[in-house]
Structure 1
Amino acid sequence: MSTSCHPGAGAPVGHAESRLVVVRGNSASGKSSVAAGIRERFGRGLAVVAQDNLRRIVLRERDRPGGANIGLIDTVARYALDAGYHVVIEGILYADHYGEMLTRLVDDHLGVTRCYYLNIPIDETLVRHASKADREYLAAVTERELRDWYREHDVLPGGIETVIGSDSTLRNTVDRIMRDSALSALPACDN
């Protein structure tokens, strides 16, 4: 998708004190739990931009190259950063579909940016998926879908991501991101 489809692309976004965190990984790798943990720890003033919400709920779109959700994720993240929020973007966010947009956003962000890839083996992915409480989701998303969607070590080009393995607990992962991004040193906002 060209830059012209994203009016803010290429323009500086956020400010020197804003934080942008990107958390990517396969289905059931813990991305949503990590984002929720960061928000809970930080408090108000942190926006969670969830790929599943924008793609599946807002647009009801399939994940495909050039999908409208790519621009929507970019736009929402930029808007929140410019409105004074820190931002966590989370989702599967396949490198070949979302890499260009994410790299451009990282380059344009004026503050501290940290990107993470949760590298969870397929066998652990299946175990984690089976432990989800949402029975309707479990019935709709089977082992076959998980295996079809799974991409081993789907990191963004340029080495901009820190890879976190399955040996890192949820608490340790949230602690690390809070520390790396310096969100732990900032006060919550009253947005």
Structure 2
Amino acid sequence: MVGTEETRLVVLRGNSASGKSSVAVGLREKFGRGLALVGQDNLRRIVLRERDRPGAANIGLIDLTARYALDAGYHVVVEGILSADRYGDMLAQLRADHCGPTHGYYLDVPFTETLARHATKPIADDVNETQLRDWYRSRDLLPDGIETVIGADSALHETVDRIMLDTGLAHLPALDR
């Protein structure tokens, strides 16, 4: 078992440029100290400089980092594309092992919107439309309906507020860490 009955685990998934990182940062800004952000891009691309492949080391590192933070009493947001076929088993086990409430969200953005949003990112020149199309997975949901789908029509502040309320984070104090 991992975490406590009080710790919250939030999993944010979706395609590239769906707003996952912005939502995660928004949650931290709303909540304050005591909310750990476990970002797939940071651990995979920055820490390990690894390609996203089945069985890659970042899958275990994401799991271990989330578990460590939960055991240390932090609420945790795991965010990334986290494709169901590669990350689904790890996320299912993390969810099963977590002692507290766990909430999953899938940010569902159509490819045309993904393309438009991607054009505004710093890596826009490094990743072209063909690559984005290869990566894009329409409604790559985890099994058993464990994710709440949030559409592209939900503004950033609306999504953050919704998750804060759904998870109970809106009613919990920040931790003095």
Task: Report the TM-score when normalising by structure 1.
Answer: 0.91
Q: How does 1:26-37 map to 2 (within 5 A)?
A: 26-37=15-26
Query: Unmatched 5+ residue regions in structure 2?
Result: none
* Selected match of 2:161 from 175, 184, 188: 175
Q: CA deviation at 1:76?
A: 0.2
* Selected match of 2:8 from 15, 19, 25: 19
* Selected match of 2:143 from 141, 157, 167: 157
Task: Give the corresponding residue for 1:106.
Answer: 95
- Corresponding residue SS for 1:158: helix
Task: Give the corresponding residue for 2:58.
Answer: 69
- Corresponding residue SS for 1:168: coil
Q: CA deviation at 1:131?
A: 2.3
Task: Give the corresponding residue for 2:172.
Answer: 186
The list of structure 1 runs, each at least 4 consecutive aligned residues, that deviate by more than 2 angstroms after superposition, is none
Q: CA deviation at 1:112?
A: 1.0
Q: CA deviation at 1:122?
A: 0.1
Q: CA deviation at 1:21?
A: 0.2
Structure 1 distance, partners of 2:69, 2:82, is 19
Structure 2 distance, partners of 1:26, 1:98, is 14
* Selected match of 2:68 from 62, 71, 79: 79
- Sequence identity percentage: 69
Query: Aligned AA for 1:177?
Result: I
Q: Does 1:56 align with 2:42?
A: no
* Selected match of 1:144 from 97, 116, 130: 130
Structure 2 distance, partners of 1:101, 1:159, is 17
After superposition, the CA RMSD in angstroms is 0.6
Query: Unmatched 5+ residue regions in structure 1?
Result: 1-11
- Corresponding residue SS for 2:52: coil
